Amino acid sequence: MPVWQSIYEELKSENFEIISFAQDTGGEAAAGPIFDAGNVTYTTVIDVNHHISALYNLVNVPSGVWIDEAGKIQRINEGTYAAVHANGAFGTDEYVPIVRDWVAKGADSEYVWDLEQVRANIFQRTPEAEMAQPAFRIGTHYFTLGNDAKAEQYWTMAQELDPTSWNYLRQDLQYEDGGSAGPAWRERRTQIESAGGTYYAPLGIEPAGAANN
Amino acid sequence: MKNLMGFSLLLGTAVIAGTVTAQSATVLYNERVVAIEQTLPDASDLWVTPADLTRINDFVLKPEGACLADLCIPVLQDRDSDMYVTRSGQGWFNVTGLADKLEQAHVTDYADSIWSFGAMPLERRAFFRGGEAPDFALPDRDGNIVRLSDFRGKKVLLLTWASW
């Protein structure tokens, strides 16, 4: 968060905005203090229903989308860590420099994808998986009403309808023993990765077209 | 979960009760939580008055059909159909029927009459085909509505994260 704030301060005068969505069923109480601790001045939304991930077909957090001045997507669905985390186990230092390049050069940045690449990187969901969002939404509604049993029923239903979503799984695990990065999460991650899947879509940091060289 | 879905499929054909008794419902649509005081009792579909239809999803019932901006889905109104019926002079519109025509995902808790709808595929056609960023309207931490379209003319880095 502090890294994004410093990037924002560096680039905001260049027609650049960050909109940050905290996907937290716990709402302001869960995410607000983290925004506050980062002294964040960019646009902040607490997205209790995971609305943005549903709309943009994002499967994990953190994820990022680049949108140009006309509303066209230029990159999408990447694990957008601002830095390598302290323990070195995850994160990357390679993403922030390409954001800087994009803000400076716009469509001329070598990191901007063409439409074909954008379309290829939009995660595809089955019709059944499309039902996960309204199911998750009911779960969150019950959670807000204090009905944890019904919340769990519909959050579980969302995970079953869309097993590709790390968000629905990890949000739910937060309320269980072991938390969002405990044994259940590790087991699931190992299953998916050993089957050739990925936890995040790989960061395509190499310049567009490099694969053809 | 499987039982619920099977239940919904089995009762795909609407069975309309002959008499109207008050049955409330809660509809979750995008960020909206819409309380409906009276629905037409039905085992599988959500029937509401035309006024409540608009409260739910902004569709307006016009002579040419159920309309949202330039989109109009034809709806017969001079006789009963699977989309619209008249009971004791009151018209009732089938919201889930409209969603099905639009291939819009929806999930129901029948016990508590909670009806939850996903995004309309039509809204996202330009996203999948043309890489256009879908617009949204969500409140920021101060309660002001944030729309992507408010940022036209700027580059936007949209980020998701979570505390968990």
What does the pLDDT read at residue A189?
77
What does the pLDDT read at residue A179?
77
Residues A86 and A98 in one domain: yes
B103-110, long-range: CB < 8 A, 24+ apart: B103/A127, B105/A127, B105/A130, B105/A131, B105/A133, B105/A134, B106/A131, B106/A134, B107/A131, B107/A134, B107/A135, B107/A137, B107/A138, B107/A154, B107/A157, B107/B4, B108/B4, B108/B8, B108/B46, B109/A138, B109/A150, B109/A154, B110/B7
Strand B114-117 and strand B25-29: pairing? parallel
Residues A91 and A38 in one domain: yes
Domain assignment present for residue A180? The answer is yes
Residues A15 and A58 in one domain: yes
Domain assignment present for residue A55? The answer is yes
Q: What pTM value is reported for the model? A: 0.84
pLDDT above 50 (res B7): no
- Given a contact cutoff of 8 angstroms between Cβ atoms, the answer to whether B84 and B75 are in contact is yes
Q: Which residue in the set B119, B153, B157 is minimally distant from A18, CB to CB?
A: B157
Domain assignment present for residue A211? The answer is no
Q: Per-residue pLDDT tens for B60-104?
A: 999 999 999 989 999 999 999 999 999 999 999 999 999 999 999
What total of structural domains would you count in chain A? Answer: 2
Residues A152 and A50 in one domain: no
Residues A41 and A131 in one domain: no
Residues A135 and A155 in one domain: yes
Tokens of A17: 């905005």
Please give the residue range of the domain that contains residue A89: 2-123
CB pair distance less than 8 Å for A67 and B33: no
How far, in Å, CA of B109 to CA of B114, rounded? 5
Task: CATH number of the domain at A13, please.
Answer: 3.40.30
Minimum distance, in Å, between the CA of residue B63 and any CA atom of chain A: 30
Q: Which residue in the set A24, A47, A68 is minimally distant from B138, CB to CB?
A: A47
Residues A37 and A98 in one domain: yes
SS3 A63: strand
B160 forms bridges with which residues in the sheet? A21, A63
How large is the average pLDDT for residues B136-149? 94
What does the pLDDT read at residue B21?
54
Confidence of residue B37 (pLDDT cuts 50, 70, 90): very high
Q: What is the CA radius of gyration of chain B?
A: 18
How far, in Å, CA of A56 to CA of B127, rounded? 8
Domain ranges, ordered by start, for chain B: 2-122
Q: Is A117 on the interface with B (CB under 8 A)?
A: no
pLDDT tens sequence for chain A (213 residues): 678 899 999 999 999 999 999 998 888 998 899 899 989 999 999 999 999 999 999 888 888 999 999 999 999 988 777 666 666 666 677 788 999 999 999 999 999 999 999 999 998 888 999 999 999 999 999 999 999 999 999 999 998 898 888 888 877 787 777 777 788 778 877 877 776 666 666 666 665 544 433
Q: Which residue in the set A31, A43, A150 is minimally distant from B146, CB to CB?
A: A43
Minimum distance, in Å, between the CA of residue B142 and any CA atom of chain A: 9
B62 forms bridges with which residues in the sheet? B65
Upstream peptide bond of A183 is cis (omega within 30 degrees of 0): no
What does the pLDDT read at residue B6?
38
Q: Is B100 on the interface with A (CB under 8 A)?
A: no
Residues A23 and A46 in one domain: yes
Residues A44 and A113 in one domain: yes
Q: Per-residue pLDDT tens for B96-134?
A: 999 999 999 999 999 999 999 999 998 899 999 999 999
Q: Per-residue pLDDT tens for A2-43?
A: 788 999 999 999 999 999 999 988 889 988 998 999 899 999
Residues A31 and A71 in one domain: yes
Domain assignment present for residue A114? The answer is yes
What does the pLDDT read at residue B89?
94
What does the pLDDT read at residue A207?
56
Residues A97 and A168 in one domain: no
pLDDT above 90 (res B157): yes
Question: Which residues of chain A neighbour B164 with C-beta distances below 8 Å?
Answer: 24, 30, 170-171, 173-174, 179-180
What does the pLDDT read at residue B110?
95
pLDDT above 50 (res B10): no
B35 or A162, which is more confident? B35
Question: Which residues of chain B neighbour A73 with C-beta distances below 8 Å?
Answer: 127, 131-133
How far, in Å, CA of A144 to CA of A141, rounded? 5
Residues A76 and A154 in one domain: no
How far, in Å, CA of A74 to CA of A112, rounded? 5
Minimum distance, in Å, between the CA of residue A65 and any CA atom of chain B: 5
- Given a contact cutoff of 8 angstroms between Cβ atoms, the answer to whether B40 and B53 are in contact is no
Tokens of A9: 């301060």
What mean pLDDT, rounded, does chain B reach?
88
pLDDT over 90 percentage in chain B: 79
Q: Which residue in the set B33, B154, B161 is minimally distant from A20, CB to CB?
A: B161
pLDDT above 60 (res B18): no
Q: Is B117 on the interface with A (CB under 8 A)?
A: yes
The separation between the first and the last C-alpha atoms of chain B, rounded to the nearest angstrom, is 26
Confidence of residue B143 (pLDDT cuts 50, 70, 90): very high
